[in-house]
Amino acid sequence: MMISEKKRLVIPLLGAPGIKLTGTTLKQNLIDPSIQFKTLYKILERFNPDGIFPFMDLTVEAEALGLKIDFPENENPSVREHPIKDREALAELKRKWNGISGRMKVFIKVCEMMVKEFDRIKGGYVIGPFTLAGELMGVNDLGINVLEEPEFVKEVVEFTTKVILEYAKVLFETGIDVVAVLEPTAVILSPQLFKEFSMKYFKYLSSEIKRPLIYHICGNTKHLIEDMGKSGAWGLSLDSAVDLKWASEIVPSKVNLIGNLDPVGVFLQGSPEMVYERTWKLLERMKDVENFILSSGCDIPVGTPLENIDAFMQAAKNF
């Protein structure tokens, strides 16, 4: 991976806001690799970050497993139903799983094009095993079953880990540098349950793939940070609720800390002046932390003014 030790890396989680640059819809980008690549190309041209990821989409693996998806034109798609309520349904799903399918192929193609054309850090995304279990079972049922039917939940998570491992390996085969594992649902877990139902499977992915993985959990993950730092992750992508300076004192220095300007309160709703000021403040606070990569706390929303992303990049450049 191309990482300069002298330069502070700036890699905002862009994608969706770029549809304004190509006059396309979010849906078009999520179903057509050539449209998505064109948008990513325009994003690089305008903002020039040090790294780029495809569009973030938490329904790709669920859809590949046969779940029905609601797919609006300019909002994130969502899973319509959560069919895995018992072992019988899980056994049926396992029987039907037939390897890389559906829109996984869209994102594999996008990664191939990125590797061919882009001269900077290139990443991919997979959903996290526990979060995919939540898509299959429904998050409420998942939360209840973690306590009432833990063995059943483990069976589901073991299966989702297998699916994700298969997909992540193919993404890496395209030549990308890093894969972010998106595990937002893990934020509901206590530290003990987190180790048992999320981190154990992340560590397994890491040991099997032996390539750089980023652990991304949205929201307030202060109760999980210490364990996340021991997960074998190359980097932790943390949301704006976490004080990154505090995290840097807990997480080993060999693990990169990635974040964490508020994607909604700052990027989407702020003015360019506010974005610039908050970015500067974060850089100032983290200036002595060598394992810090400047980014957004999560995916930057679709309606974000492009001028706000300009201001973010400008602050980073000027700092």
State the CATH number of the domain containing residue 173.
3.20.20.210
When pLDDT is cut at 50, 70 and 90, the band that residue 275 belongs to is very high
The answer to whether residue 109 scores a pLDDT higher than 70 is yes
Instruction: Establish if 70 belongs to a structural domain.
Output: yes
Does the pLDDT value for residue 2 go beyond 60?
A: no
Supply the pLDDT for residue 1: 55
Where residue 268 falls among pLDDT bands split at 50, 70, 90?
very high
Q: pLDDT band at residue 7, thresholds of 50, 70 and 90?
A: confident
Side chain identity at residue 218, one-letter code? C
Residue 6: pLDDT band with limits 50, 70, 90 = low
Quick check: bond before 260 cis, omega within 30? yes
Region 245-261: mean pLDDT is 97
- Looking at the structure of the chain, the number of domains it has is 1
In a domain, 3, yes or no: no
Q: What is the mean pLDDT of residues 104-116?
A: 98
For residue 214, list its beta bridge partners.
Answer: 180, 235
In a domain, residue 9? The reply is no
Rounded to whole angstroms, the Cα distance separating 210 from 203 reads 10
Task: Please give the residue range of the domain that contains residue 222.
Answer: 16-318
Q: Would you say residue 146 lies in a domain?
A: yes
Average pLDDT over residues 122-151: 98
Q: E strand or H helix at 296, and its extent?
A: strand 292-296
Query: Could you give the CA distance from residue 213 to residue 209 in angstroms, rounded to a whole number?
Result: 9
> Tens digits of per-residue pLDDT, 17-58?
999 999 999 999 999 999 999 999 999 999 999 999 999 999
C-alpha 283/C-alpha 33 separation (Å) is: 34
Question: What's the average model confidence in pLDDT over 219-238?
Answer: 97
Do the domain assignments include residue 267? yes
Strand order in the sheet with 178-182: 51-52, 121-127, 178-182, 213-217, 235-238, 256-261, 292-296
Mean pLDDT (the chain) is: 96
Q: Is residue 7 part of a domain?
A: no
The band of 4, judged by pLDDT with boundaries at 50, 70 and 90, is: very low
pLDDT higher than threshold 70 for residue 149: yes
- Per-residue pLDDT of 277-310, as tens digits, reads 999 999 999 999 999 999 999 999 999 999 999 9
- What is the C-alpha to C-alpha distance for residues 209 and 265, in angstroms, rounded to an integer? 36
Which residue matches tokens 């056994």?
A: 91
Give this prediction's pTM.
0.96
11 in any annotated domain: no
pLDDT above 80: residue 5 = no
5 within domain boundaries: no
- How much of the chain exceeds pLDDT 70, in percent? 98
